[in-house]
Amino acid sequence: MEKPLTQHIHPDKAPLDIREYEKTGGYSALSKAFQMEPEEILEVVKDSGLKGRGGAGFSTGMKWGFIPMGEDAPKTKYLIANADEMEPGTFKDRLLLEGNPHQLIEGMILSAYAIQANTGYIFLRWAYKRSGYLIKRALKEAYEAGYLGENIMGSRFSFDLHQHTSVGRYMCGEETGLLNALEGKRAIPRAKPPFPQMSGLFGKPTIVNNVETLCCVPHIINHGAEWFKGLSLTDEGGTKLYGASGRVKKPGIWELALGTTLREILEDHAGGMQDGFFFRGALPGGASTDFLVEEHLDLKMDFQSVMDAGSRLGTGTVVVLDDRTCPVGMLHNLEHFFAQESCGWCTPCREGLPWVEKILLSLEEGTGREEDIELLEFHSRNLAPGNTFCALAPGAVEPLQSALKYFHADFERHITEKHCPWK
């Protein structure tokens, strides 16, 4: 099976330097691309079926299509790589950042060319120290080799790329929160419209893409849309970085065909459950996705299939809940995170999430009341999409609403037995 994104990544070794990267065919997509019109690149990416790997799964080509192009378009446009990866349970972009930073840089140059952006930022999480150091070095090499800066490889295209390190807040990963953070402000979201493609960073047209999304682009340009589609087991193109953490035998991360089943990820790659632990459920793609349970094990892990099962593929990094971990305790941990990271901008989320966190704590401490379950159900509805300013709160209630559905009896037991049965 082809693994374009990770074929040159060896986690225990230093990443390829620019010469080694070039030897593997790196940066060769640039000369090909510069002979094409930007619109042609956009078409290829659209045809490839590439969907954003940041969680929402929106078509990348379509997203780029909203950028103003041509003579009348603003001269300054931005392309931003979202490398804030702070979704609990998610560790996929780190692998790409540390494992092959030139692949990201090449992907960004190509994507910038497609939307004719002249400036880019890699918006990196503070905690990713090693990534920061390796990207800095790779950027220097790319500038020296003439892949960045003025008139790249003698073309008419110029592109400057900078690294920005954030100072920690989940909301920095939300695309408009990210723009505010880059402008030196609080990472609170912006009203849409105007969409960032029209008015983004400093009011200029801007595209924000996830690291994994951008890393796919060189391979699409090199091998074409049909090839990329063929990598996948469904009609959404490409491979996907899938991960697993929790009480599995071999937690880790693997590049597999998009649409690989949950069972295959957990059994063949993660080695099944640790001895003495049984599978109870899993968050398929990070903290803000609905639980899946036993009946979903044969589900294809692509965006559409997981959505049809009532959850989201999210980041594709699976968090496994075992029988020796209390689901209410796990949920309390998740909601503590969301309540803490709520930016406080809108009331349902600012007030609702700490409320949810408190109820879950009282259940854990054995002081829960019968009406608490209804209250939790109320908050799940009240924080649904459309009621809050951004997607943080709707994401926060995804594990909550699904836990209430699949682990209802466990909630009840906390109340009737007046203590946590796992303690």
Partner 1 sequence: MLTEEEIHEITEEINRFPVKKAACIEALKVIQKHRRWVSDESIEELAEMLEMSPGEIDDVATFYNLVFRKPVGRHVILICDSVSCYIMGYQQILQHLKVKLGIVYGETTRDDRFTLLPIPCLGTCDHAPAFMIDEDLHRDLTPENIDDILTKYK
Closest approach of partner 1 to the CB of residue 337, in Å: 6
Output the CA torsion sign for 242, 331, 293, 296: negative
Contact (CB, 8 A) for 286 and 55: yes
Using CB atoms within 10 A of its CB, is residue 212 exposed (0-12), middle (13-18) or buried (19+)? buried
Q: Judged by CB under 6 A, which of 49, 55, 196, 286 binds ligand FMN?
A: 55
Closest approach of ligand SF4 to the CB of residue 392, in Å: 4
Eight-class DSSP state of 324: T
Question: Which CB atom, from 345 or from 355, has the smaller least distance to ligand SF4?
Answer: 345
Question: Which CB atom, from 176 or from 380, has the smaller least distance to ligand FMN?
Answer: 176
Q: Is 402 in the site for partner 1 (CB under 8 A)?
A: no
Question: Which CB atom, from 129 or from 186, has the smaller least distance to ligand SF4?
Answer: 186
Q: Judged by CB under 6 A, which of 123, 291, 389, 411 binds ligand SF4?
A: 389
Which pairing describes strands 160-165 and 279-283: parallel, antiparallel, or unpaired? unpaired
Find which of ligand FES, ligand SF4, partner 1, none residue 349 binds, CB within 5 to 8 Å per kind: ligand SF4
Buried b (16+ CB within 10 A) or exposed e, 333-343: bbbbbbbebbb
Q: Judged by CB under 6 A, which of 174, 264, 357, 398 binds ligand FMN?
A: 174
| Alpha helical stretches, state H, 303-346 | 303-308, 327-341
C-alpha distance across the termini of the chain, in Å: 45
Question: Which CB atom, from 30 or from 393, has the smaller least distance to ligand SF4?
Answer: 393
Q: How far apart are CA 387 and CA 124, in angstroms?
A: 30
Contact (CB, 8 A) for 349 and 383: yes
Question: Which CB atom, from 83 or from 393, has the smaller least distance to ligand SF4?
Answer: 393
Q: How far apart are CA 92 and CA 366, in angstroms?
A: 37
Binding mask 54-93 for ligand FES (x = CB under 6 A): ----------------------------------xx----
Contact (CB, 8 A) for 182 and 167: no
Which pairing describes strands 119-124 and 317-322: parallel, antiparallel, or unpaired? unpaired
Q: Is 230 in the site for ligand FES (CB under 6 A)?
A: no
Question: Which CB atom, from 107 or from 327, has the smaller least distance to ligand FMN?
Answer: 107
For the segment 135-164, give every residue that binds ligand FMN (CB under 6 A).
none
Which pairing describes strands 206-210 and 160-165: parallel, antiparallel, or unpaired? unpaired
Q: Is 89 in the site for partner 1 (CB under 8 A)?
A: yes
Stretch that binds ligand SF4, among 63-71, 251-259, 317-325, 337-345 (CB under 6 A): 337-345
Q: Which amino acid is at 317?
A: T
Residue 176 phi, psi (nearest 5) = -80, -30
List beta partners, residue 376: none
Closest approach of ligand SF4 to the CB of residue 87, in Å: 14
For the segment 340-369, give every residue that binds ligand SF4 (CB under 6 A).
342-346, 349-350
Q: Is 309 in the site for partner 1 (CB under 8 A)?
A: no
Closest approach of partner 1 to the CB of residue 248, in Å: 9
Closest approach of ligand FMN to the CB of residue 134, in Å: 18
Find which of ligand FES, ligand FMN, ligand SF4, none residue 350 binds, CB within 5 to 8 Å per kind: ligand SF4
Q: Is 286 in the site for ligand FMN (CB under 6 A)?
A: no
List beta partners, residue 148: none
Q: Which amino acid is at 298?
A: D
Phi-psi map region of 335: left, alpha, beta (phi>0 left; psi -120 to 50 alpha): alpha
Find which of ligand FMN, ligand SF4, partner 1, none residue 333 binds, CB within 5 to 8 Å per kind: partner 1
Contact (CB, 8 A) for 299 and 264: no
Q: Is 143 in the site for ligand SF4 (CB under 6 A)?
A: no
Question: Which CB atom, from 42 or from 328, has the smaller least distance to ligand FMN?
Answer: 42
Q: What does the binding site for ligand FMN look like in residue numbers (CB under 6 A)?
A: 52-56, 58, 63, 82, 84-87, 170-171, 173-175, 208-210, 213, 390-392, 395
